[in-house]
């Protein structure tokens, strides 16, 4: 306080009129001195001061410029969305120039080579500029929109706030850690404080360990089983028209994309989105020496069992297909042959045996082939697997699968039979070591143990394995065990945990 009085006395000595202590001191501090983040006023502009600096213990909340009070335009940049993604395609804008947005409001939807992601706002303010049009390529770290902030606290929202011991009482929260810096934006800190979450307990997935909004939501989901704010509403696919074809007439397959009108001219399009991901993945995959193995499976008993359980599952609100049984049988087989759930490093020096059975299921969509992943099949029941598949199918048809739903696979099953195929030559998805292609179920004549011809529900299976680490005998034994579980589904009860 003595130092403050000395400053004011010196200013009066220079002939400056000071109406009041609080007003004059604020004017001097704001208009005549540049301040750093710790409250030290540097480089005086009045000749009366010959000191290099003067320390004032004044709360930082009084140091506001007129630009901050009236609002400041900040660039909202596309942050790192993980999985090594550096560019995305803008699919849809939810805002226009002049629109008012709040934190967590949807800004736009972008399509990476892995998934479709909805970008939400970090700030409260007004959209002043949009940098991309629909179908343009946006890059991580570059600006998406300019937002004029409405609140003083949002003057420097883009800059990460690093916690340090010397903070004001008004801004000091339970999130402080002595001797450790935690990086998070003010919006993330507010979300953590509103949900009583300690930032020290959250693992940051952003650059240099920065805690993102998604990290807070994932942590909250693990603790409470709920995700805040609520995920966007899932838009169901358009209802399919009921076929009115005469009985016995062949059904014409429907094209997944609208028929292109013939123009007589060549057309060139950029490779992007999921198609671009396929180019990258298959280019790497075909460097793997593939080993193929095919067999047929008699699903007569499983067809009957599934028909009996279908009504029970529907009463629980779940559609029960054959795929949950295929995944569970595969998981039981992987316990016996873990090499099929392994990965080989790029230098072919180490094999990593994965503890979790994260089984991907190839799905055909309007955007192309995607492979959502059912995580931890080894600890899930058949009903739980069915519920997860239902969720993934709903999101996939609505084009709302997230990156987490499409990553982390250790083994894959592709159900080509839903379209009509029998045998296939599936291509391994790196870094996995094996993949299976399931054909359609057909009613075919077969001989029983008494030599009598009977109707049987026959399905074909085609396997591909990385021949560098998986030999033919291992692949055949795994296939035989998988086949045994499906032909005798009651035996799976013996090995379920």
Q: Using an 8 Å Cβ cutoff, are 400 and 116 in contact?
A: yes
Angle at 345 (CA atoms; ends 344, 351), nearest 5 degrees: 45
- Say whether 471 is catalytic: yes
The number of CA neighbours under 13 Å toward the Cβ of 183 is 10
Residue with tokens 């996939």: 396
Work out the angle between the directed axes of helices 300-315 and 472-487 (0-180°, nearest 10). Answer: 60
Please tell me the distance from the alpha carbon of residue 391 to that of residue 195, in angstroms, as a whole number: 27
Catalytic residue (choose from 135, 136, 345, 471): 471
Q: Of the listed 146, 364, 467, 495, which one is catalytic?
A: 467
147, 136 Cβ separation under 8 angstroms: no
Closest CA to 129 of 87, 76, 190: 76
* Joined tokens for residue 83: 């999985």
In order, the DSSP letters of 127-196 are EEEE---TT-EEETTSEEEEEEE-SGGGSS-SSPEE--S---TTT--TT--TT---EE-HHHHHHHHHTT
Taking every pair of C-alpha atoms in the chain, what is the biggest distance, in angstroms?
118
Give catalytic status of residue 40 as yes or no. Answer: no
Cβ-based neighbours of 371, under 8 Å, separated by 6 or more: 360, 361, 362, 363, 406, 409, 412, 429
Structure tokens at 355: 């503890």
271/308 Cα distance (integer angstroms): 46
* CA separation for the pair 61, 155 (Å, rounded): 12
Could you give the residue numbers annotated as active site?
467, 471
């Amino acid at each position: 306080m003595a130092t403050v009085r000395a400053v004011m006395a010196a200013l009066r000595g220079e002939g400056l009129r000071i109406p009041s202590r609080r007003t004059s001191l604020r004017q001097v501090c704001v208009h005549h001195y540049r301040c750093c983040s710790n409250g030290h006023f540097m480089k005086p502009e009045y000749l009366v001061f010959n000191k290099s600096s003067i320390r004032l213990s004044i709360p930082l909340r009084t140091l506001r410029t007129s630009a901050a009070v009236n609002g400041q335009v900040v660039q909202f940049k596309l942050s790192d969305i993980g999985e090594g993604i550096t560019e995305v395609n803008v699919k849809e804008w939810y805002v226009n120039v002049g629109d008012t947005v709040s934190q967590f409001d949807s800004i736009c939807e972008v399509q990476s080579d892995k998934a479709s992601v909805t970008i939400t706002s970090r700030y409260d303010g007004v959209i002043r500029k949009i940098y991309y049009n629909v179908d343009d390529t946006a890059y991580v770290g570059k600006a998406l929109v300019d937002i004029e902030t409405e609140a003083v606290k949002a003057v420097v929202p883009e800059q990460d706030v690093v916690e340090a011991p010397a903070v004001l009482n008004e801004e000091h929260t339970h999130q402080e850690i002595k001797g450790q810096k935690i990086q998070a934006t003010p919006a993330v800190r507010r979300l953590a404080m509103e949900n009583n979450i300690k930032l020290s307990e959250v693992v940051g997935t952003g650059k240099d360990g920065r805690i993102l909004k998604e990290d807070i939501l994932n942590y909250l989901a693990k603790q409470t089983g709920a995700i805040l704010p609520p995920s966007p509403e899932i838009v169901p696919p358009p209802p399919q028209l009921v076929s009115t074809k005469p009985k016995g007439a062949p059904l014409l397959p429907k094209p997944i994309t609208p028929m292109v009108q013939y123009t007589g001219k060549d057309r060139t399009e950029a490779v992007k989105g999921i198609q671009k991901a396929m180019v990258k993945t298959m280019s790497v995959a075909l460097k793997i020496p593939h080993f193929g193995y095919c067999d047929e499976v008699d699903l007569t008993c499983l067809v009957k069992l599934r028909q009996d359980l279908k009504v029970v599952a529907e009463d629980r609100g779940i559609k029960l297909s054959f795929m949950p049984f295929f995944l569970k049988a595969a998981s039981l087989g992987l316990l016996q042959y873990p090499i099929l759930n392994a990965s080989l490093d790029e230098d072919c020096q180490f094999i990593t045996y994965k503890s979790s059975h994260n089984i991907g299921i190839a799905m055909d969509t309007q955007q192309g082939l995607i492979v959502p992943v059912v995580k931890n099949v080894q600890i899930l029941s058949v009903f739980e697997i069915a519920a997860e598949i239902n969720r993934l199918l709903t999101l996939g048809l609505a084009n709302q699968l997230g990156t987490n739903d499409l990553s982390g696979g250790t083994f894959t099953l592709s159900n080509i039979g839903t379209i009509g195929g029998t045998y296939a030559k599936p291509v391994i998805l790196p870094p996995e070591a094996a993949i299976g292609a399931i054909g359609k179920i057909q009613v075919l004549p077969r001989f029983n143990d008494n030599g009598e011809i009977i109707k049987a529900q026959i399905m074909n299976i085609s396997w591909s394995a990385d021949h560098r680490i998986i030999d033919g005998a291992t692949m055949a034994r795994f296939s035989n065990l998988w086949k045994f579980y499906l032909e005798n589904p009651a035996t799976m009860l013996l090995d379920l945990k």
